Structure 1
Amino acid sequence: MSDHELPKTRSGEPRAFFGRRSGKTLHGGQRALVDDLLPQVEIRLEGELDPKTLFPDARRFVIEIGYGGGEHLARKAAEEPETGFIGCEVFTGGIGKMVGAIEAGALANVRLFTDDALKLLTVLPAGSIDAVYLLYPDPWPKTRHHKRRFVSPTTLAELARVIRPGGLFYFATDIEDYANWTLAHIVRAPEFAFNPDAPGSWHLPYPGWQPTRYEQKARREGRMTSFYFRFERSVAEAQP
């Protein structure tokens, strides 16, 4: 198997999530909130999923893959109430924090998917999403684990299919090797264009950016440089 190909499940389907799903046990109040609220906002897949059915009044649709503690997702949802946000996360601690943020902020424009994000991408209609965020994903630093990285030809093909022409794929990391890995995949994907404003501009945070908890931890540990890439879904490549 090539390092650029995703491993498959026993049924032969590609998978893009690896690792643990749970950590510390949720405390009583958080557990009760998850039990009560998660069923109301959780996405259950039953065939093709049109995001318009989740957010009938939304003007835009955005996905965040691996939202961690949910700081970025909750902030963006509060800032853009006219946008429908889908957050993908499998780690129970992150899900618990995001459910709490939904409750605290009365965020009616957020839905959560708690399984492998690739499963969600494959059932979305073509051109149905305006933007996708993949912020500080697990870098899987060991060479033998590189095939577990979320960015791959398989996932990029699905992202290119679901992101509308002119839409954006945001990717941020503090791991230079993963930044190089992602750029190497993007240059092989004609569906996406990388047009930085100036050399090195990819080290500048996105407009309005607020550091996530993970980014703050990285800075404390001495990883002072991040890469904030923005890839545009090419209009020409999206045409038949």
Structure 2
Amino acid sequence: MSANTVVDPPKKRFYRQRAHTNPIADHCFDYPVKPDEMDWTKLYPDYDSNGDKKVELLDVGCGYGGLLVTLASVFPDKLSLGMEIRVKVCDYVQDRIKSLRSEFPDEYNRIACIRSNAMKYLPNYFSKGQLSKIFFLFPDPHFKKTKHKWRIISKSLLADYAFLLRVGGIAYFATDVEQLYTWMDNHFKEHPLFTQLTADEISSDPIFAKLFDCSEEGKKVTRAGGKKFVAAFKRIEDPFLG
């Protein structure tokens, strides 16, 4: 394929897959033993392995890539990564990025998508304090009480997110399920390393308002006339240190 060849956008109907996946099941994944062993040059065309620029923005369960595309325009100087557990959905996002890169050279070289399980392998990809933003948009609510342990926000997982987020970094979440919103909101409020953004901080945040409709799930809720619940929490200094 020549440098000027435009790749057709992927058609979503060919990438359909069940919306729900058991995140605790033993899926087959390739993942680095530690962050230093991850070869990011395979994902980002202009990645400098000898430079100091690393992935900063992480979309957990990126779905069909709507947020990733938005991040490319809002934060064009930062590297963004989508992590998706479903095979066909991840394939779609990767093909979507290829198409965008062919049509708009240099505009989408800093977004990428990999298939992995964020509940298990985040520390294999990212080092302490590496991330500045992490997103959880419309995650699976896992309504049954016996499956609450599958939810992407929990006490144990918040410890991982706090480890990977730098001080001042922000975790965002959105859902159309009020019960799940309350669950996530309470977990963040109870964690000593997170504090909710103030109204002034939200109003000056360039990405917060876009979280309502940038994803496919968000757009679906809008079409159905449903409610959306969005919040953001900042990583703070450990109050028990010093």
Is it true that 1:66 corresponds to 2:52 in the alignment?
no
Q: Could you tell me whether the CA contact under 8 Å between 1:63 and 1:133 is conserved in 2?
A: yes
Partner deviation per Cα, 1:201-226 (whole Å, 9 max, x = no partner) = 9xxx8234444221222234442x21
Unaligned runs of 5+ in 2: 1-21, 41-46, 102-107
TM-score, normalised relative to structure 1 = 0.71
Q: Judging changes above 3 Å, is the alpha-carbon distance between structure 1 residues 162 and 173 closer, same or farther for their aligned structure 2 residues?
A: same
Q: Could you tell me whether the CA contact under 8 Å between 1:60 and 1:82 is conserved in 2?
A: no
Number of the residue aligned with 1:46: 32
Q: Could you tell me whether the CA contact under 8 Å between 1:62 and 1:85 is conserved in 2?
A: yes
Number of the residue aligned with 1:219: 222
Is it true that 1:122 corresponds to 2:123 in the alignment?
yes
Moved more, 207-216 or 164-173: 207-216
Residue of structure 2 aligned with 1:196, choices 198, 207, 211: 198
Number of the residue aligned with 1:178: 180
Q: How big is the shift at 1:44?
A: 4.5
Q: Could you tell me whether the CA contact under 8 Å between 2:68 and 2:82 is conserved in 1?
A: yes
Is it true that 1:152 corresponds to 2:147 in the alignment?
no
Cα separation, 2, equivalents of 1:186 and 1:134: 13
Q: Judging changes above 3 Å, is the alpha-carbon distance between structure 1 residues 237 and 44 closer, same or farther for their aligned structure 2 residues?
A: farther
TM-score, normalised relative to structure 2 = 0.71
Cα separation, 1, equivalents of 2:241 and 2:100: 40
Partner deviation per Cα, 1:19-75 (whole Å, 9 max, x = no partner) = 8x8xxxxxxxxxxxxxxxxxxxxx952221159963435376111000111111122
Partner deviation per Cα, 1:1-30 (whole Å, 9 max, x = no partner) = xxxxxxxxxxxxxxx8258x8xxxxxxxxx
Q: How big is the shift at 1:110?
A: 2.6
Q: State the identity %.
A: 23
Q: Could you tell me whether the CA contact under 8 Å between 1:78 and 1:105 is conserved in 2?
A: no
Q: Judging changes above 3 Å, is the alpha-carbon distance between structure 1 residues 79 and 103 closer, same or farther for their aligned structure 2 residues?
A: farther
Q: Could you tell me whether the CA contact under 8 Å between 2:90 and 2:114 is conserved in 1?
A: no
Number of the residue aligned with 2:70: 75
Count of residue pairs the alignment pairs up: 198
Number of the residue aligned with 1:138: 140
Unaligned runs of 5+ in 1: 1-15, 22-42
Could you say what the CA RMSD is over the residues aligned between the two structures, in angstroms?
Answer: 3.0
Q: Judging changes above 3 Å, is the alpha-carbon distance between structure 1 residues 51 and 44 closer, same or farther for their aligned structure 2 residues?
A: same
